[in-house]
Chains A and B, each alone.
Chain A
Amino acid sequence: MSTDTKQVIAEEKPAEAKPAEAKPTEEKPAEEKPAEEKPVAKPVAKPVAKPVAKPVAKPVAKSWVKPVAKPIELPAFEKSISDKVVEKFGDKIQVEFVKENRVGIKVDKENIHDVAEFIRDGLNYDHVESVSGVDYPQDKEIEVVYHIGSYSDSSLAKQLLVLATRAVREENPIPGKDATKLPTLRDIFYSVEFHEREVFEMFGVYFTGHPDNRRLLLPEDWADLPPLRKDFAIKGR
């Protein structure tokens, strides 16, 4: 287990650096990335990774890093959506990715309410499809990702806006009474009501302003950690 956790941390570093560097510049992330990975990869898998890394690098870039690697191929319509948000909020937000039919935006919890309001009123998105929590114990943070779509604007039918924000993660959580809190989006998108309740019980992220923070799926007498956190382990695993 201990080796496993080391690997997580080792592999996380380039990944965390990637979205921050690659997105704004978009020049040569494919070239830079293997160069960065090498020093990190050394302790883990030295003899195998090195000789293979260079020849493999090209097909990798071709198959799935495509929209990021070549700035020309950024889908125009999706770019225009992210540009509108950037124009309005400037450096308060961070564009995480622009892919086909998906625009990813990262925002602090202080600004998420304003950004969500602009997304609804300024960009015509009208409902939330999914709210997922993602636990990052190594960053001491829990990310909450909203997938926002639109029924009423037919030009946005394919699009999903992926709005992500992060809350502080406590080592010993007391759900609802510790620092793991986010402002609710229920007053903006009514459809998050049950989704946010689920995130609260499964991750312990309390949504301030949500009128109904009761449990939904878990039993009333659940007294363990929020079960989808990484430190809650299934028995026998």
Chain B
Amino acid sequence: MTNELPPGLAIQKVDERIMTLNVGPQHPGSGHMRIIVQIDGDYIVACDPDPGYVHRGEEKMAEYRNYITNIPHLERPVIHDSCNILYPYVLGVEELLGIEVPERAKYVRVICAELNRCIYIMYWLAIYGIFLGHSTMFMWPAGDRELLIDLMEKISGARVTHAHFVPGGVRNDLPPNFEEVCLRQINYFEKRIKEYAAVFYDNPILISRTENTGVLSREDAIRLGTTGSVLRASGVDYDLRIKEPYDVYEELDVHSPVMKEGDSYARSKIPWLDMLESCNIIKQALQKMPKSGSVRVKLKPNPKGKGFDSVYKRVESGRGSLGCHIVSDGKVEPYRLKLSVPSFRNLIALPYLLKGEKLGNMPSVYWSLNYWPVEADR
């Protein structure tokens, strides 16, 4: 192999003292990605994340399908948070078409989005428990998550991939008697997740393993452009539901949790606090929602934008700000669709956080980034 290497490839020098380890892509502590770590004894000296094992070309596929048939496949990158990943896309298409959504549909969307946020975080929390060898924290969230999945099933008919949001509103109206059932289950759910504190978050073993590991300072969090729970755990109060409210978040009282420490513990606690806040938002939305009315504006078949236009919409998903950049050329398919996903944006922090850490802390730091490999690859 004397040929010159193609661009994008490099030959790595091997050191006598430093050992290179491939963690993943089949390792249970990495998800569908590889983390190349270089260790000196037990300490990590360098880390190079290598995503791409579940790259499915969602953005390319979107250019071949029209605005409506794009809906079911665009939620595949993160099926547990499927409403939130569709949200910016749907908002963007509505702006391109100039549609005003009925009031009741906006509330239904907010309820679905918050339910999905909880469903996602419960799944994330279950895996975080497994990463730390805490099997109770795997069983409990996985079981309690069913409550919310049942609610979403009542709304949309599907347990995980709902495809419930459409440009112009939502697919179906809420089932009869939904408000009562939802309120009852949310009240129980809220009571239940408060119990997690005693088992998990106030547990001295968890605290000793995660406190002061992988500290991300406020300045670095801003400079690296992190988002969501990672950003808020480092003391930056930035939540799009408050800063750039979409749909009816403006009329709801949202308090986004913020912590200053910036360590793994803070990053793992913020999502849990987020769930408590979501319960609060759902209750408010159920109360304020118009009791009847249309939930969907009927569109013409094959809707299309008018001439060249571009739009960028973003929402706060379970992991952070999720943006969708649509370029339309006036045809029935988008000319270009780009998803700017929070997992991809937070990944840049991983090499920083792991430098100087013990190898044993790697899973807790890595998963505290609220990272979803499939979403990062798209």
Chain A residues with CB under 8 A of B309: 64
Of B5-13, B75-83, B197-205, the one touching chain A: B5-13
Task: Determine how close the nearest CB of chain B comes to the CB of A190; give it in whole angstroms.
Answer: 5
- Say whether B95 faces chain A, with CB atoms less than 8 Å apart: yes
| CB <8 Å contact, B238 and A15 | no
User: Which of A64, A126, A219 is close to B306, meaning CB atoms less than 8 Å apart?
Assistant: A64
Chain A residues with CB under 8 A of B310: 104, 145, 162
User: Which of A19, A157, A201 is close to B8, meaning CB atoms less than 8 Å apart?
Assistant: A201
Please encode chain A, from 206 to 235, with 1 for each CB lying within 8 Å of some chain B CB and 0 for all others.
100000011111111000000110001010
Task: Determine how close the nearest CB of chain B comes to the CB of A65; give it in whole angstroms.
Answer: 8
Tell me whether A151 and B238 are in contact in the complex, defined as CB-CB below 8 angstroms, given that A64-B98, A129-B225 are known contacts. yes
| CB <8 Å contact, B321 and A129 | yes
Chain B residues with CB under 8 A of A176: 7-8
Main secondary structure, interface of B, reads mixed
Tell me whether A191 and B336 are in contact in the complex, defined as CB-CB below 8 angstroms, given that A14-B307, A15-B330, A227-B60 are known contacts. no
Chain A residues with CB under 8 A of B314: 129
- Say whether A73 faces chain B, with CB atoms less than 8 Å apart: no
| CB <8 Å contact, B312 and A219 | no
Chain A residues with CB under 8 A of B243: 157-158
Task: Determine how close the nearest CB of chain B comes to the CB of A139; give it in whole angstroms.
Answer: 12
- Say whether B96 faces chain A, with CB atoms less than 8 Å apart: yes
| CB <8 Å contact, A216 and B345 | no
Of A77-85, A86-94, A111-119, A130-138, the one touching chain B: A130-138
| CB <8 Å contact, B312 and A147 | yes
Chain B residues with CB under 8 A of A64: 95-98, 306, 309
Tell me whether A191 and B64 are in contact in the complex, defined as CB-CB below 8 angstroms, given that A64-B95, A129-B314, A176-B7 are known contacts. no
Interface residues of A in 124-182 (CB under 8 A from B): 126-130, 132, 134-135, 145, 147, 151-152, 157-158, 160, 162, 175-177
| CB <8 Å contact, A130 and B8 | no
Chain A residues with CB under 8 A of B307: 11, 14-15, 18
The answer for the CA separation of A126 and B222 in the assembled complex, in Å, is 7
- Say whether A108 faces chain B, with CB atoms less than 8 Å apart: no
**Interface CB pairs A-B, < 8 A, 12:** A15-B307, A16-B308, A64-B95, A130-B312, A135-B336, A147-B325, A151-B236, A176-B7, A176-B8, A190-B224, A216-B52, A217-B377
